[in-house]
Structure 1
Amino acid sequence: MTTQQRLLDILVEAVDTLTDDFDVIDFLHRLSTRCVELLDVQATGIMIVDEHDELQLIAASDETTRLLELFALQHDQGPCVRCYRSGQAQLNIDLTSRTATLGFGPFAAQARTAGFTVTHALPMKLRHQVIGAVNLFDTRPGLLSDSDLQIGQAVADVATIALLQQRTLETSHLEKAQLQAALTSRVIIEQAKGILSERYGLSLDASFDTMRTYARPRKMRLTELARQVIDNTFDGTFEPTGTDTP
């Protein structure tokens, strides 16, 4: 399979994130393996930030890399962490060089133990918003080529857009669910108003005020009280606010 075909596959997979049953874990795991296929590297790890603005390991091309990335998070160090915080790519880091690994020596030692000699980190960034980083590892010394850098950053950008789009959809779905819940609650309250209006000879406004007067000091939700009225499970006593006819 050509590089162009693999890139096309990644774009198609990214489009799939627009569906309701999108699996972010599966998508990013496939992306990590795609990076190994596309780029001249041996392993890939992907970290993204959670709702608390804390980096979390979300995918890795293999178990060794997964454990190495967890080590980086536990020690709050490494190129991926630095890349996320700075928003800038960390390239051609020689894991055997004390100077190059200044600030994350323990991570470098752990990476060398895993067999890696060089690493790179690419930001998952859209404009000024950084949501994570892609970490690339190689067992051979050498520089990341310009073409591999362009492809790697393109993959990171596609993943970023896909994830941000998914978060937008999830937020939209949540807002819609909240709106639907509010609409459903309103229907229930209207039904309860009608029952109280018939029972006590009140107008609908007076029925609503009666429910509010009962619920507020008891810290009850109006919807909860309305359901009790509809289900005939209300065991309290209403004090109608008026006797006007509906």
Structure 2
Amino acid sequence: MTESDRDGDDGVTRTTRETRLLETFVTLADTLVAGFDTIDLLQMLVDRCVQLFDATDAGIMLDNGRGELEVIASTSERSRLIGVLQLGAGEGPCVEAYAAGRAVSVSDVSELVDRWPVFAARSAESGYAAVDAVPLRLRDTSLGSLNLFRERTGALSRADTDAVQALADVATISILQERVLRQTDVARDQLQRALDSRVVIEQAKGIVSYTLDVDMDEAFKRLRDHARSQRLRLSDVATAVVEKRLRL
């Protein structure tokens, strides 16, 4: 195999990655039906982005319908907390990608101090060295941001940034299809259900973490693994744990 057939240092071939990328687009397209679970969709998206774009972690922030962002999906507790820190500071690359409706790239954390000093001070111990954020947008409306975090410096290539943006665009269309856009109340309710589901998932993570004496990342992994093995919605598994109908 020639060097040109490889992508990155992990030895994953370009052909393999392109196949995975196409599979992700197909999976997103499959959600263009009634009854899909928004949380599952967004969690799948952040998981795939970590695999596809050599990121350490990924997360999604979503507008709660009142002009306020909330962390709705993440691949680790660390990436969730980084999102929360940005929301608390009211600034940061992920917040800017949403507000400006464009991709924001930070190739080295030293850039944070000049651009977002409050967030930089609060996130100094995160361990992330670079961040790339793209908006979840529909036409001129931005609904949130899809964010990739890496432990080494450097920025996504233009081609990878375009691919991440394309995934974010398809995910946004999946959430707010034309039939939903024609029914504002339905769209608002669907987004609110996703946000409510995230609260229950956080509660379930805490319960599993305490009960099994594991950290929050491991607790979430066990919830997700159970949901996938039983072909259940993550939010339904979390609800069963909170209501003490399920023990992991």
Structure 1-normalised TM-score?
0.63
Q: 1:111 to 1:174 in 2, by over 3 A?
A: closer
> C-alpha offsets along residues 20-63 of structure 1, whole Å, 9 cap, x if unaligned?
32110111011001111110221111111122122111111111
Distance change >3 Å, CA 110–CA 157, structure 1 → 2: same
Per-residue Cα deviation, 1:84-112 (whole angstroms, up to 9, x for no partner): 11112111342123xx4434224234444
**Residues 18, 166 of structure 1: 8 Å contact kept:** no
Runs of 4+ in structure 1 over 4 Å off: 172-175
Give the direction of change, closer, same or farther, for the CA distance of 1:5–1:71 in structure 2 (3 Å limit): same
Q: Any conservation in 2 of the 1:44–1:137 contact (CA below 8 Å)?
A: yes
* Counterpart residue number, 1:122: 134
Q: Give 1:167 deviation, angstroms.
A: 7.5
CA contact (8 A) 1:83 1:89 kept: yes
- For the aligned residue pairs, the C-alpha RMSD in angstroms reads 2.5
Letter in 1 for 2:162: Q
Whether the 8 Å contact between 1:94 and 1:101 is mirrored in structure 2 is no
Contact 1:83/1:123, CA 8 A, preserved across alignment:
yes
Q: Report the AA paired with residue 130 of structure 2.
A: V
Choose which of 67, 74, 77 in structure 2 pairs with 1:60. 74
Given that 1:17 and 1:166 are in contact with CA atoms closer than 8 Å, whether structure 2 keeps it comes out as no
Which among 121, 144, 164 is matched to residue 156 of structure 2? 144
Superposed, 1:1-246 pairs within 5 Å as 2-97=16-111, 100-165=112-177, 168=180, 171=183
Distance 1:166 1:48, change over 3 A: farther
Q: From the CA coordinates, give the structure whose radius of gyration is larger.
A: 1
**Percent identical:** 39
SS, match of residue 30 in structure 1: helix
Alpha-carbon shift at residue 169 of structure 1 (Å): 7.1
Cα distance per residue 1:151-170 (max 9 Å; x no partner): 21111111111111188179
Query: Are the equivalent residues in 1 in contact too, given 2:129–2:153 (CA < 8 A)?
Result: yes
1:120 counterpart letter in structure 2: D
Change in CA separation of 1:74 and 1:172 when aligned onto 2, cut-off 3 Å: closer
